Structure 1
C-alpha cells in the first residue's frame, strides 16, 4: 500500500565521492533502485543508497514508477534492487520470476504491514469516554449517532479508503457483510491526502471518527497512541478469498480482518551474483511497521525529503542499522553522516 505519493520525477544519481573511496564498489556501474511511488519505499531506498554509497563505495540511481512496470524491469535486469516487494499483490508475476532465477528474495524488510478499522482511544477509554462498549465492528450500529454524517444525519459516517483503490472495494464489501449499511454511510475521499487530513484533523480536535487506514504511514506514526483498532473476525484465508471474489458488494455475506502482510527486499538474479557484499547487506535489512511509521511522521512533521529522513534514521537509530553491515562499513557510514 502507498502511504502517500513521493514521486522522484526523474532518474537520480548519487556519484562516488571522496568519502566513499575508502571502499571500492564491487560493480563498475551505478546500482539501480526501484523508485516505487509511495513514501515508505522512498525512505527505505534512500537509507540503502546512503549505505551503499558511503559504506561500499557504490554510486546509485533511482528509476521512478509503479509496481508492475518496475517489477518487470527488475525481471529484465533494468532494476537491480527493490526495497518493498508486496508479494501478496504480485504473485502471478513474482512466482514464475523466482522459479526462473530472474529475481531473488532477500528476506523480509518489515513483517507487519497492516490494514484495519480504527476509532480514537479517547472515545472508548477513560471514565468519561462516550463509547466505552465499542470494541468491535459488531458494536458500531449502537454508536452510529456518535459518528453522525453531516450530509446524512440519520447515519454515522465511515471513512473508507480512497475511491478507486482496492482497499475501498474490500471495505465496501465489509460494510455490507457486517450489516452496517443501514447505520453508516460509505464516505470515500478522492485522494490519500484528503483522507489523511480528515483523520488527522478529527484526532487533533478530539472529535469522533471511525476510519480505515494502513501502515506503515506517517499518520499511524503520529497517532499510534491515540487510536484503537476495532476487532473483526480473525483473518481467515478462505473467507478472504470468498470476499475478494464477490462482484456485487451488497452480496457479501462474510468478512474477516485484513491479513498482516510481510514486505520483502528483492534483487535481480544477475545482480545477486555480481554484488555479494551488497546482497549480504540487503539480506540483513530489517525494520518494522512502527519504526517506518515513526520515520514517515518525521518526514511529515519536518517537511523532510526521503533522503533527509534517511540521514535522520542513520544518525538516531544506530541500534538498528549497524547490525546490517560489518563494523568497517558501519564506521564509514557514521563518518559520512
Structure 2
C-alpha cells in the first residue's frame, strides 16, 4: 500500500477550485459544490488521486482533496461527507469495500487498470540462507536467519502501517510462524529499511507491494503462502489451521475506484470520467519512482503526465 506525506502539504491540498486548461472560471458543470477525493499515505495513491482530480478540474469541476484513513474512509463515503476514493486494493480493502457497497450507499466504479500484489517479500540474497524459499513452510526453518537482536531466536517480519490492514499478525499466528510482526510507522520508513538492509545484505523480510518501484529496483521474491480463498478469511475450519482464519496468503487482483452513491446523480459528468479512468502498472511504477527515487515533486510528476497524455485523459471527460 506508500510514502512522502510531506507531498500532501502545499498548494495541492485544501479546497482547489477547478480551473480550465487556460485558467479561469468554472465551466458549465452540474454542481459547483466540491467533489471530495480522499488522499492516503502512499505515493501511488496520491498520484492516482491527483491525476483524477486535476483532470476533473480541466473539465470545470470544483475539487477538494481530503486526507482520510484507508479503511475508515468508508464511513464518510457512506454518508456523502467524502465522495471518491481512487485506490481500493483487492489485496487489503476488498472486505471493507464489499461491506460498504452492500449498503447501497457506496458504489464500485470499476478497475483503475492497475493489478495489485501485496505480500511478504525477501531479497534474493536471503535465499542462500533459506534455500527452501519461496515456500512459506521454509520460514520456520530459517527464522533465526531472519531474526534481529530484538526478536531472536524468532524471525522478524516488517509489516506496513497498521492502517493498511492485511491481517499479517493473524497470518503469522494462524500459520504458527516463529516470527514477530513489527509494523513500520510509515510507507517511507518501510522502504528506507529495505534500502538500508539491501545495501548491507542484512536479513530482512517485509511487506512489499506492486505497482511500486521496489520489486523492480531490488531482486527478490514474494513468499508463496497457501493460495487465498474467501473461505480462508471467513471460515476458520478452512486450511492448515482448523481453528483460525487467515492461514493463507493475501488476495491478488485489481485496484478499484469507489464513490459515494450520490456522485452519479449530483455530478454525472465527473462520475463518467472517474469510471473511464485507467492507468497501467508500468505507468504508475514510473511515476512513483520519479517521486520516491528521483526526488521529483509529486504535483510536477502529475502535471507532466497530464501534459504528455492529453489524448488519453480527454477521452475520460468527453
Q: TM-score range by the shorter chain?
A: 0.7 to 0.9
Alignment of 1:226-245 (within 5 A): 226-242=219-235
Kept after mapping to 2: 8 A contact 1:104/1:272: no
Distance 1:165 1:81 in 2: 18
Q: CA RMSD in A?
A: 3.7
Q: In structure 2, the residue corresponding to 1:117 is in which secondary structure?
A: strand
Question: 1:97 and 2:104 equivalent?
Answer: yes
Partner of residue 197, structure 2: 202
* TM-score for both structures, normalised by structure 1: 0.74
Residue 27 of structure 1 pairs with residue 30 of structure 2:
yes
Instruction: Assess, with a 3 A threshold, how the Cα gap between structure 1 residues 283 and 17 changes in structure 2: closer, same or farther.
Output: closer
Counterpart CA distance in 2 for 1:63 and 1:264 is 19
Partner of 2:305: 313
Instruction: Return the offset for 1:62.
Output: 1.9
Q: Distance in 1 between matches of 2:231 and 2:272?
A: 37
User: Could you say which structure has the higher helix fraction?
Assistant: 1
Contact 1:14 1:53 in 2 (8 A): yes
1:44 is displaced (CA, Å) by 1.5
CA positional deviation for 1:283: 1.4
Matches of 1:301 and 1:151 in 2, distance apart?
A: 30
Tell whether 2:174 aligns with 1:177.
yes
Deviations 1:209-252 (A, max 9, x none): 222333445545x63x522111111112212223699xxx9x64
Q: Report if the CA contact (8 A) 1:84-1:263 is conserved.
A: yes
Q: What TM-score do the two structures reach when normalised by structure 2?
A: 0.77
Structure 1 unaligned runs (5+)? 330-337
Distance (whole Å) between structure 2 residues aligned to residue 49 and residue 35 of structure 1: 10
- Based on CA coordinates, which of the two structures has the bigger radius of gyration? 1
Residue 60 (str. 1) matches residue 95 (str. 2): no
CA contact (8 A) 1:32 1:63 kept: no
Paired position in structure 2 for 1:139: 138
> Residues 8 and 64 of structure 1 are in contact (CA less than 8 Å); yes or no, is this contact kept in structure 2?
no
Match of 1:287 among 279, 287, 301: 279
Deviations 1:180-233 (A, max 9, x none): 32xx4444444444333212211233333222333445545x63x522111111
How is 1:1-337 mapped onto 2 (pairs within 5 angstroms)? Answer: 1=1, 5=5, 7=8, 11-17=14-20, 19=22, 24-39=27-42, 40-54=44-58, 56-67=59-70, 70-85=73-88, 86-98=93-105, 103-124=106-127, 129-162=128-161, 166-167=165-166, 170-181=167-178, 184-217=179-212, 219-220=214-215, 223=217, 225-242=218-235, 252=244, 255-289=247-281, 291-315=283-307, 318=309, 322-326=311-315
In 1, Cα distance between equivalents of 2:205 and 2:152: 15
User: What's the CA shift for 1:289?
Assistant: 4.5
SS of 1:283's equivalent?
helix
